[in-house]
């Protein structure tokens, strides 16, 4: 076989005889070749793991060709480049995604099968990099896909966690966390870059010095130095030759540091320092809101931000040159406040290390950063105790003080003497024991701030950032989130993708989702509707089979699949869904002759390990399920299953199989939601509140094709201002009372009336997310769902129209909006 390197001409796929040919014959040859030269195996003894690795390397070789070509073109054209800074990237399995974007998904499968390789089995072998905990991390992954697809030169910067989000197993109905050792078998998609590494410093103190010209300067004398090493993953676009870079940093001990300690004889001290350094990128924090005051988390944030800013400066030096123009070459997008320290770090690098004046450095910094906010929940806004911050990052604290002083002076002049306003806007919160407000740092240091859905962007301007909006309204933007149709339609639902392509007569919709509109005229076509139903039921059969195997709950694929899958959170109101299930259960128990549309209630989602209430909700779901699933009087109509370990791979099993998508957060609390989009794109109808992107989804698909219920954000605010009394609601609604009482009766806890008391008491006496206030409206809306589902032709039409009108929710559209309105970055088209 040939092992010649890729040909010199980068613009065309090389001829068949090179190692990166795309024909079936070339792929077969490459497959055998990689099995031999990478895994050291021949076909007969290769394990499924070997076969997976060979397939991955076969894909990777073809990706590298586009990647190197993109890097060359980006470099020589001095292309303006986006740096996306995110503490999380929830990528999901890579193999199928990459084959789709290479355009060889079909032929690669055929090639493997001609070698008697069970392709589905090797896909099951793949371990996903779970380097994120929920919507925010998955959004970053969707944006990487769309940045490349929209031909925007971009680098994703983040942390190469050795352990990603924990694996969830369910034991006796409780969540149990297992560590996610995703790297144990190696990661074929990354390239280690040991030569791309930077020192990162912590602790110590600062000193005033003077440079040769006699100007006063600050020297930071750290207590600890570690290094960050780059691990690079290529990210392909779809239908284009562009491939971008995801660069994740791994922490290590610097060699020199080791020797220093070793030379004075402190061997154990040296080993300890090494372990301490390696700890920094060891594990992802599994919360989807910050855990108070975790020092390691702050170390992580500074670690990846420092490496990334140093790398950005290095790249600028290598390609363009004068540092004064760095804001013309790069835009930095902050994915929430987790990387907001980058603002202070860039200032430090420019002022302390590059000897730039403060004024010029601040002008450059202010023009470089943009910030996306992802939450309105006050408890989810990051702050750091000043004492901890000072101990870890003494120089950055000085920089933040200086930024703050300059900023507050401006505010003082604008709003003469309004000291209350100054206190509210300060980067330092003096009311909760002196804390640094990371969101304020992000806003003050950025030229653009955006929310992630229309409602959310409106609310940040009137609540958490009201004062900032009054000061500089022109800096506030909105970009509604989107999701990639490559992964969430083509990869995860190939049957539907084929049907859409056949119906539209083209597959242009994959690269431009607005083309789904071509389905609209067929929405009433009985032939399409029949096929549509077949596709759905096939996906439901697959999921039912998986669930039976993994949970032991048998589900009839003919039942309505009613799914809520997302992180467990009180504001997302999984308990509202449970109350609905209990109501149906009681209705059936009271009148066994009542006829009902059979429903399978399927939940999925992880709880933060320290979030007691969320974990209790998981237990409650499983406990209710246990009783219902065992009760022959009702289990012909109702089933409840909890899918363990909801991650990207398992999500891909859920979205295609859903009839009904549950998006029932309290209005004003879910910044956007993105699962809502994934379900709807796969033909599920949504029952949802007037919240986040639900509002825009409803507008897009048509109010008549969406089940809306509950209070609006305004009504929520009003009710809370008036004084919300859940107790009165509980007393005033006999059914509601009996549903809650059934939980506290012990029916679902083997007679133990105490188990769920924290949950039921909290609902009755506090109910901060107003479950009781929306209970009645939710039940009534569910009645309308049932009615519609009982009319298959009507339901199919609604389902088809949902898909046809979801074009706007492609992450391609979102990225185009960012590029045009916020980043001012042009696409770079590669030849051929």
| Residue 231 Cβ vs ligand GPV, minimum distance, rounded to whole Å | 23
- CA dist 252 and 312 (Å) reads 20
Residue 574, token pair as written in the block: 């999984």
Answer whether 567's CB lies under 8 Å from 134's CB: yes
Nearer to ligand GPV, 143 or 789 (CB): 143
- CA dist 213 and 111 (Å) reads 68
Among 14, 673, 726, 807, binds ligand GPV (CB under 6 A): 673
Q: Between the CA of residue 381 and those of 111, 171, 365, 421, 438, what are the distances in Å?
A: 50, 33, 23, 19, 8
Stretch that binds ligand GPV, among 465-473, 553-561, 654-662, 672-680 (CB under 6 A): 672-680
Nearer to ligand GPV, 134 or 683 (CB): 134
Answer whether 42's CB lies under 8 Å from 173's CB: no
Query: Under the criterion CB under 6 A, does residue 164 sit at the interface with ligand GPV?
Result: no
Binding characters for ligand GPV, 430-459, by CB under 6 A (x = yes): ----------------------x-------
Binding characters for ligand GPV, 81-120, by CB under 6 A (x = yes): ----------------------------------------
| Residue 481 Cβ vs ligand GPV, minimum distance, rounded to whole Å | 5
Nearer to ligand GPV, 311 or 670 (CB): 670
List binders of ligand GPV among 461-520 (CB under 6 A): 481
572 tagged catalytic? yes
Catalytic residue among 674, 686, 689, 760: 674
- CA dist 706 and 694 (Å) reads 9
- Exposed, middle or buried by CB within 10 Å (0-12, 13-18, 19+), for 787? exposed
- CA dist 781 and 785 (Å) reads 6
Nearer to ligand GPV, 288 or 390 (CB): 288
Among 83, 102, 139, 608, binds ligand GPV (CB under 6 A): 139
- CA dist 268 and 291 (Å) reads 32
Residue 413, token pair as written in the block: 């002049």
Strands, E assignment, 243-355: 243-252, 330-335
Nearer to ligand GPV, 452 or 563 (CB): 452
Task: Give the neighbor-by-neighbor strand order of the sheet with 243-252.
Answer: 191-202, 224-236, 243-252, 154-159, 81-85, 330-335, 369-372, 448-451, 476-478
| Residue 454 Cβ vs ligand GPV, minimum distance, rounded to whole Å | 13
| Nearest one of 514, 83, 110 to 308, comparing CA atoms | 83
Query: Under the criterion CB under 6 A, does residue 336 sit at the interface with ligand GPV?
Result: yes
Residue 626, token pair as written in the block: 């246990």
| Residue 374 Cβ vs ligand GPV, minimum distance, rounded to whole Å | 4
| Residue 377 Cβ vs ligand GPV, minimum distance, rounded to whole Å | 8
Stretch that binds ligand GPV, among 464-472, 575-583, 668-676, 789-797 (CB under 6 A): 668-676
Query: Under the criterion CB under 6 A, does residue 375 sit at the interface with ligand GPV?
Result: yes
Stretch that binds ligand GPV, among 133-141, 272-280, 472-480, 495-503 (CB under 6 A): 133-141
Instruction: Provide the β-strand partners of residue 599.
Output: 560, 638
Task: Give the neighbor-by-neighbor strand order of the sheet with 599-604.
Answer: 638-643, 599-604, 560-565, 660-663, 685-688, 707-708
Nearer to ligand GPV, 304 or 756 (CB): 304
Angle at 354 between CA 352 and CA 356, to 5 degrees: 80
Nearer to ligand GPV, 316 or 569 (CB): 569
Nearer to ligand GPV, 234 or 482 (CB): 482
| Residue 418 Cβ vs ligand GPV, minimum distance, rounded to whole Å | 29
Q: With CB under 6 A, what is the number of residues at the site for ligand GPV?
A: 18
Intra-chain end-to-end CA distance of the chain, in Å: 28
Q: Annotate 524-562 with DSSP letters as a single string.
A: T-HHHHHHHHHHHHHHHHHHHHHHHHHH-----TTSEEE
Stretch that binds ligand GPV, among 116-124, 134-142, 318-326, 730-738 (CB under 6 A): 134-142
550 tagged catalytic? no
In the complex, residue closest to ligand GPV by CB: 135
Position of tokens 């009766």?
745
Query: Under the criterion CB under 6 A, does residue 136 sit at the interface with ligand GPV?
Result: yes
Query: Under the criterion CB under 6 A, does residue 301 sit at the interface with ligand GPV?
Result: no
Stretch that binds ligand GPV, among 100-108, 580-588, 622-630, 665-673 (CB under 6 A): 665-673
458 tagged catalytic? no
Nearer to ligand GPV, 670 or 796 (CB): 670
Query: Under the criterion CB under 6 A, does residue 735 sit at the interface with ligand GPV?
Result: no
- CA dist 374 and 709 (Å) reads 24
| Residue 139 Cβ vs ligand GPV, minimum distance, rounded to whole Å | 4
Residue 458, token pair as written in the block: 């409106």
Stretch that binds ligand GPV, among 415-423, 669-677, 737-745, 787-795 (CB under 6 A): 669-677
Catalytic residue among 348, 572, 619, 797: 572
Q: Please state the separation of Cα 357 from the chain's center in Å.
A: 38
Catalytic residue among 41, 227, 316, 567: 567
Position of tokens 């300067």?
217
Binding characters for ligand GPV, 398-417, by CB under 6 A (x = yes): --------------------
Answer whether 691's CB lies under 8 Å from 668's CB: yes
Helix axes of 341-348 and 295-319: crossing angle, nearest 10 degrees = 50
- CA dist 459 and 466 (Å) reads 9
106 tagged catalytic? no
Q: Between the CA of residue 472 and those of 368, 461, 705, what are the distances in Å?
A: 17, 11, 39
Residues shown for the chain:
832
- CA dist 292 and 379 (Å) reads 10
Catalytic residue among 566, 569, 573, 808: 566
List binders of ligand GPV among 788-807 (CB under 6 A): none
Stretch that binds ligand GPV, among 129-137, 156-164, 311-319, 393-401 (CB under 6 A): 129-137
Among 19, 374, 396, 573, binds ligand GPV (CB under 6 A): 374
138 tagged catalytic? no
- CA dist 627 and 621 (Å) reads 10
| Residue 380 Cβ vs ligand GPV, minimum distance, rounded to whole Å | 5
Residue 755, token pair as written in the block: 């188990």
- CA dist 714 and 700 (Å) reads 22
Query: Under the criterion CB under 6 A, does residue 134 sit at the interface with ligand GPV?
Result: yes
| Residue 596 Cβ vs ligand GPV, minimum distance, rounded to whole Å | 33
Query: Under the criterion CB under 6 A, does residue 672 sit at the interface with ligand GPV?
Result: yes
Nearer to ligand GPV, 105 or 334 (CB): 334
374 tagged catalytic? yes
Instruction: Provide the β-strand partners of residue 572.
Output: none
Binding characters for ligand GPV, 272-291, by CB under 6 A (x = yes): ----------------xx--
Query: Under the criterion CB under 6 A, does residue 568 sit at the interface with ligand GPV?
Result: no
Q: Between the CA of residue 362 and those of 314, 444, 447, 465, 759, what are the distances in Å?
A: 19, 11, 12, 22, 49
Catalytic residue positions, numbered: 374, 566-567, 572, 674, 678
Interface positions with ligand GPV (CB under 6 A)? 134-136, 139, 288-289, 336, 374-375, 380, 452, 481, 670-674, 692
């Amino acid at each position: 076989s040939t092992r010649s390197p890729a040909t010199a001409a980068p613009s065309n796929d090389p001829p068949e005889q090179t190692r990166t040919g795309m024909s079936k014959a070339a792929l077969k040859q490459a497959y055998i070749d990689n099995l031999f030269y990478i895994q050291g195996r021949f076909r007969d003894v290769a394990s499924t793991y070997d076969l997976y690795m060979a397939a991955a390397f076969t894909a990777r070789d073809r990706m590298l060709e586009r990647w190197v070509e993109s890097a060359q073109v980006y470099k020589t054209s001095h292309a303006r480049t986006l740096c996306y800074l995110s503490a999380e990237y929830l990528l999901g399995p890579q193999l199928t995604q990459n084959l789709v974007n290479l355009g060889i998904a079909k032929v690669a499968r055929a090639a493997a099968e001609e070698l008697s390789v069970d392709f589905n089995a090797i896909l099951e072998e793949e371990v996903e990099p779970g380097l994120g905990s929920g919507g925010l991390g998955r959004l970053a992954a969707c944006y990487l896909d769309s940045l490349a697809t929209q031909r925007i030169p971009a680098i994703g910067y983040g942390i190469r966690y050795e352990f990603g989000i924990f694996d969830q197993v369910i034991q006796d109905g409780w969540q149990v966390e297992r560590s996610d050792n995703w790297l144990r078998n190696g990661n074929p998609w990354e390239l280690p870059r040991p030569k791309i590494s930077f020192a990162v410093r912590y602790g110590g103190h600062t000193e005033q010095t003077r440079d040769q010209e006699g100007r006063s300067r600050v020297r930071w004398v750290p207590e600890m130095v570690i290094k960050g090493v780059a691990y690079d993953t290529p990210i392909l676009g779809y239908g284009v030759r562009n491939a971008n870079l995801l660069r994740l940093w791994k922490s290590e001990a610097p060699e020199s540091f080791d020797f220093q300690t070793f030379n004075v004889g402190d061997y154990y001290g040296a080993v300890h320092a090494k372990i301490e350094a390696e700890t920094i990128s060891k594990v992802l924090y599994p919360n989807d809101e910050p855990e108070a005051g975790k020092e390691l988390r702050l170390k992580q944030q500074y670690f990846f931000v420092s490496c990334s800013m140093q790398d950005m400066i290095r790249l600028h030096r290598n390609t363009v040159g004068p540092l004064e123009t760095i804001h013309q070459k790069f835009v930095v997008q902050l994915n929430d406040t987790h990387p907001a320290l980058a603002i202070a770090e860039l200032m430090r690098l420019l002022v302390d290390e590059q000897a730039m004046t403060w004024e010029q450095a601040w002008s450059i910094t202010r023009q470089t950063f943009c910030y996306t906010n992802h939450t309105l929940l006050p408890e989810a806004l990051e702050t750091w105790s000043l004492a901890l911050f000072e101990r870890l990052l003494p120089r950055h604290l000085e920089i933040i003080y200086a930024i703050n002083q300059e900023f507050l002076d401006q505010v003082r002049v604008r709003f003469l003497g309004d000291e209350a306003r100054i206190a509210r806007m300060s980067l330092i919160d003096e009311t909760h024991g002196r804390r640094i407000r990371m969101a304020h740092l992000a806003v003050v240091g950025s030229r653009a701030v955006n929310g992630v859905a229309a409602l959310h962007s409106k609310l940040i301007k009137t609540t958490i950032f009201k004062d900032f909006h009054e000061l500089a309204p022109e800096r506030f933007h909105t970009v509604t989130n989107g999701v990639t149709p490559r992964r969430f339609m083509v990869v995860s639902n190939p049957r539907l993708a084929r049907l859409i392509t056949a119906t539209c007569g083209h597959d242009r919709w994959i690269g431009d989702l607005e083309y789904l509109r071509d389905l609209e005229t067929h929405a009433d076509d009985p032939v399409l509707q029949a096929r549509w139903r077949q596709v759905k039921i096939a996906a439901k059969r697959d999921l039912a089979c998986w669930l039976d195997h993994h949970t032991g709950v048998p589900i009839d694929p003919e039942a309505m699949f009613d799914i809520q899958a997302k992180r467990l959170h009180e504001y997302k109101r999984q308990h509202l869904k449970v109350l609905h299930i209990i109501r149906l259960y009681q209705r059936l128990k009271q009148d066994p002759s009542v006829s009902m549309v059979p429903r399978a209630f399927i939940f999925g989602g992880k709880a933060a390990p320290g979030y007691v209430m969320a974990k209790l909700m998981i237990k409650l779901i499983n406990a209710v399920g246990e009783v219902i699933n065992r009760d022959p009087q009702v289990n012909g109509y109702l089933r409840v299953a909890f899918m363990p370990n909801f991650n990207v791979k398992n999500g891909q099993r859920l979205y295609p199989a859903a009839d009904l998508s549950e998006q029932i957060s309290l209005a004003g609390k879910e910044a956007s939601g993105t699962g809502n989009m994934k379900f709807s794109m796969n033909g599920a109808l949504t029952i949802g509140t007037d919240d986040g992107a639900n509002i825009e989804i409803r507008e897009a698909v048509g109010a008549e094709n969406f089940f809306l219920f509950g209070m609006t954000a305004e009504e929520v605010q009003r009710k809370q201002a008036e004084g919300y009394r859940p107790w009165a609601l509980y007393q005033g609604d006999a059914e509601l009372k009996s549903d809650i009482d059934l939980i506290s009766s012990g029916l679902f806890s083997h007679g133990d009336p105490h188990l769920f008391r924290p949950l039921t008491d909290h609902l009755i006496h506090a109910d901060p997310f107003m479950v009781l206030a929306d209970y009645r409206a939710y039940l009534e809306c569910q009645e309308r769902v049932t009615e519609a589902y009982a009319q298959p032709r009507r339901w199919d039409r609604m389902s088809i129209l949902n898909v046809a009108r979801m074009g706007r929710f492609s992450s391609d559209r979102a990225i185009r909006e960012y590029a045009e309105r916020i980043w001012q970055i042009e696409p770079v088209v590669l030849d051929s």
